[in-house]
Amino acid sequence: MTSSLPEPIRKLADALKELPGIGPRQAIRLAIFLAAQNGAVRTLLTDGLSALGDVKLCSRCFFPTSPQSGLRPQQGVGASTDMTGDLCSICSDTSRDHSIIMVVERETDLISLENTGKFRGRYLILGPVPKIGSLPDWQKDRLGTLKTFVHKEFKGQAREIILGFNPTSVGDFNATLIQKELGGLAKKISRLGRGLPTGGEIEFADDDTLGAALDSRS
Amino acid sequence: MTSSLPEPIRKLADALKELPGIGPRQAIRLAIFLAAQNGAVRTLLTDGLSALGDVKLCSRCFFPTSPQSGLRPQQGVGASTDMTGDLCSICSDTSRDHSIIMVVERETDLISLENTGKFRGRYLILGPVPKIGSLPDWQKDRLGTLKTFVHKEFKGQAREIILGFNPTSVGDFNATLIQKELGGLAKKISRLGRGLPTGGEIEFADDDTLGAALDSRS
């Protein structure tokens, strides 16, 4: 469909199409935008991409971190000497309670939870659980890192693991899957509470939400 | 909301946010994706962006063109010597009828129309008409380029100008606006035909569409 487009735009569109949530049509629109109008945005993007080289994943929670924002493992509570990468600012924060671990699928889930300012434990970014119902090796490795951490720091049992999955049937399924994988690793395994969202209306709440709100009334 | 993110990711997200249709949340998600997992996609993007340097806008229709895909103005039908840029492959195609001009808002509209293989005239990419109901200078300049072209090549009157705007109330409004701007520049000024879309169902068609289908029955 793009035969009328110059080669460089087609190539850039092909690259943009590889990004999550960008379809072929939006990729073309973006490539044309970048070609036609925006030297400034183009420079910003190129600079931004090249600066990414510094970014690594936190060796404990797998949140992206850069040398500026993280600290060396030795400075964190419960740091293990076999972790060679940097710790992120959360994992290296000694004032946080590292025996409470929130497992989330996405980095953006962590950001939203951090914005509440109400969680003072640490995280594990698991990545999106695939729909086939079993984990690929790299996700098993992340859970393995958590297990090693809990074994070394808390003699095999953390205080609490919160399964921060979405309140959907897929999220429920994934939580069950991960709970099995983590069996016995924490004194308490919990999920985020369900009920009426702030700003919602009782009249329009679905049965499940309203039922959960009744169960969790306070 | 992104204070927990490393600086390079925040900066890249800020750049991505400048792209049309990318919101702040998606920008963060994309930046994290690029940082965390994809050296390959990152390289594709960087290469793609740097190759854009060659791309210019066709001096006649303003569709992006690169030295490889376009030809020098002299080779096109009705080429004017005062146009210094390259012509795109459509504007330099001597087998097309340059006295029929389709005015569209977006490059992607042109691509969709070209895919039909049914239009053999030329185009003018006007860019999205702003909602304030008057054109900024650069859009007036594009219309000016068209006027100059028609005056030089067809003594001030093209055979037909098709206003290729969306079949919406906004599109109708814009078509009226542009028709005024172009008054007298073509023997015929038309719009794209309205009726039932292929694959649509009469039962579910809205009144306007069905009314148009009755008017345009064949």
Do the chains contact at A6 and B68, CB–CB below 8 Å? Answer: yes
Nearest-CA neighbor of A122 among A94, A147, A101? A101
Average pLDDT over residues A66-83: 46
How distant is the Cα of B152 from the closest Cα of chain A, in angstroms? 26
Surface-to-core class of residue B38, CB atoms within 10 Å of its CB (0-12 exposed, 13-18 middle, 19+ buried): middle
Q: pLDDT digit string (tens) for B186-218?
A: 999 999 998 989 888 888 888 888 888 888 887
**SS3 labels along chain B:** CCCCCCHHHHHHHHHHCCCCCCCHHHHHHHHHHHHHCCHHHHHHHHHHHHHHHHCEECCCCCCEECCCCCECHHHCCCCCCCCCCCECCCCCCCCCCCCEEEEECCHHHHHHHHHHCCCCCEEEECCCCCCCCCCCHHHHHHHHHHHHHHHHHHCCCEEEEEEECCCCHHHHHHHHHHHHHHCCCEEEEEECCCCCCCCCCHHHCCHHHHHHHHHCCC
- Complex ipTM value: 0.74
Q: Which residue has the higher pLDDT, A54 or A114?
A: A114
Q: Give the residue on B whose Cα is nearest the Cα of A54.
A: B8
Chosen from A19, A38, A58 to mutate, greatest number of chain B CBs within 10 A: A19
Q: Give the residue on B whose Cα is nearest the Cα of A90.
A: B4
Mean pLDDT score across all residues of chain A: 86
Tokens of B66: 């690169």
Q: pLDDT digit string (tens) for B68-97?
A: 554 444 444 443 333 335 899 999 999 999
The residues, ordered by sequence, that sit 6+ positions from B174 with a Cβ below 8 Å of its Cβ are B105, B129, B165
From the options 3.80.30.20, 1.10.8.420, 1.20.1250.20, 3.90.79.10, give the CATH code of A7-54.
Answer: 1.10.8.420
Do the chains contact at B48 and A8, CB–CB below 8 Å? Answer: yes
Q: pLDDT digit string (tens) for B45-66?
A: 999 998 888 788 899 999 988 7
Residue A11: predicted pLDDT: 92
Up-side HSE of residue B68: CA atoms within 13 Å toward CB? 13
A170-176 long-range contacts, CB within 8 A, separation 24+? A170/A131, A173/A133, A174/A105, A174/A129
Q: Which residue has the higher pLDDT, B38 or B155?
A: B155
- Residues of B with CB below 8 A from A89's CB? 4
Band of pLDDT at residue B35, cut at 50, 70 and 90: confident
Of all residues in chain B, the percent with pLDDT exceeding 90 is 55
Nearest-CA neighbor of A189 among A170, A212, A163? A163
Please give the interface size between A and B, counted as residue pairs whose CB atoms are below 8 Å apart.
189
Do the chains contact at B49 and A12, CB–CB below 8 Å? Answer: yes
Band of pLDDT at residue A149, cut at 50, 70 and 90: very high
Residue B84: predicted pLDDT: 38
Q: pLDDT digit string (tens) for A51-69?
A: 888 788 899 999 988 775 5
CB B188 within 8 A of CB B159: yes
* Four-point Cα dihedral A149, A153, A157, A161, nearest 10: -60
A37 in reach of chain B (CB within 8 A): no
Is 80 exceeded by the pLDDT of residue B170?
Answer: yes
B117 in reach of chain A (CB within 8 A): no
Q: How far apart are CA A164 and CA B170, in angstroms?
A: 44
Residue B38: predicted pLDDT: 59
What class has domain B56-191?
A: alpha beta
Average pLDDT over residues B10-19: 93
Residue A76: predicted pLDDT: 41
Is 50 exceeded by the pLDDT of residue A72?
Answer: no
How distant is the Cα of A125 from the closest Cα of chain B, in angstroms? 12
Is 70 exceeded by the pLDDT of residue A29?
Answer: yes
The residues, ordered by sequence, that sit 6+ positions from B57 with a Cβ below 8 Å of its Cβ are A36, B63, B64, B65, B85
Residue A86: predicted pLDDT: 83
Is 80 exceeded by the pLDDT of residue A36?
Answer: no
Residues within 8 A of B (CB atoms), A 74-113 only: 88-90, 106-108, 110-112
Q: pLDDT digit string (tens) for A183-203?
A: 899 999 999 998 989 888 888
Do the chains contact at A52 and B18, CB–CB below 8 Å? Answer: no
Do the chains contact at A8 and B65, CB–CB below 8 Å? Answer: no
Residue B95: predicted pLDDT: 96
Tokens of A167: 């309140």
The residues, ordered by sequence, that sit 6+ positions from A27 with a Cβ below 8 Å of its Cβ are A13, A14, A16, A17
Residue B164: predicted pLDDT: 94
Q: How far apart are CA B202 and CA B199, in angstroms?
A: 10
From the options 3.40.1360.10, 1.10.8.60, 3.40.50.300, 3.30.565.10, give the CATH code of A71-191.
Answer: 3.40.1360.10
Residues within 8 A of A (CB atoms), B 5-24 only: 5-9, 11-12, 14-16, 18-22
Residues within 8 A of B (CB atoms), A 178-197 only: none
Average pLDDT over residues B27-49: 87
- Name the strand (E) or helix (H) holding A100: strand A100-104
Domain ranges, ordered by start, for chain B: 7-54, 56-191
Of all residues in chain B, the percent with pLDDT exceeding 70 is 89
Band of pLDDT at residue A14, cut at 50, 70 and 90: very high
- Name the strand (E) or helix (H) holding A206: none
Q: How far apart are CA A129 and CA A126, in angstroms?
A: 8
From the CB of residue B114, how many other CB atoms can be counted at a distance below 10 Å? 18
Q: pLDDT digit string (tens) for B100-120?
A: 999 999 998 999 899 889 999
Tokens of A63: 């949140």
Residue A55: predicted pLDDT: 84
Q: Residue B18: which of A11, A22, A44 has the nearest Cβ?
A: A44
Q: How far apart are CA A68 and CA A45, in angstroms?
A: 21
Q: Residue A11: which of B2, B34, B51 has the nearest Cβ?
A: B51
Q: Give the residue on B whose Cα is nearest the Cα of A109.
A: B29
- Locus of tokens 């991409």: A49
